[in-house]
């Protein structure tokens, strides 16, 4: 991907991310929307976003490792939200393994 001088238009994704994060109160959503808008403004189209991610993250192997870490974090967050981690902790405490 070659560098393109967008001038003042390059501030649009950053400003959009700031405003949207305050309005929606969801930073991740705001950053994702800003990245997609920035990709569209650069003329890469909607399919330019995965290419941008791949080139900015480095090698394909690193991208897969980061993707795996993200999925594990999502799974842990799901377990935490449903109370599964607290239930497992109480189960282990009831076994009194510290004797």
**Each residue of 9-68: pLDDT tens digit?**
878 888 989 998 888 888 888 888 888 888 888 777 777 777 777 776 777 777 787 788
CA distances (Å), origin 42, targets 9, 24, 27, 46, 50: 10, 25, 22, 11, 14
Predicted pLDDT of residue 70: 86
Predicted pLDDT of residue 30: 87
Sign of the C-alpha dihedral, residues 43, 49, 54, 58?
positive
Q: How confident is the model at residue 98 (pLDDT cuts 50, 70, 90)?
A: low
Are 1 and 55 in contact, with CB atoms under 8 Å apart? yes
Predicted pLDDT of residue 4: 61
Q: How confident is the model at residue 2 (pLDDT cuts 50, 70, 90)?
A: low
């Amino acid at each position: 991907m070659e560098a393109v001088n967008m001038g003042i238009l390059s501030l649009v994704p950053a400003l959009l991310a700031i405003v949207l994060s305050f309005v929606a109160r969801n930073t991740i959503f705001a950053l994702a929307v800003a990245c997609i808008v920035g990709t569209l403004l650069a003329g890469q189209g909607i399919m330019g976003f995965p290419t941008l991610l791949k080139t900015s993250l480095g090698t394909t192997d690193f991208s897969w490792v980061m993707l795996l870490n993200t999925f594990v974090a999502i799974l842990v967050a799901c377990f935490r939200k449903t109370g599964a981690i607290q239930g497992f902790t109480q189960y282990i405490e009831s076994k009194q393994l510290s004797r």
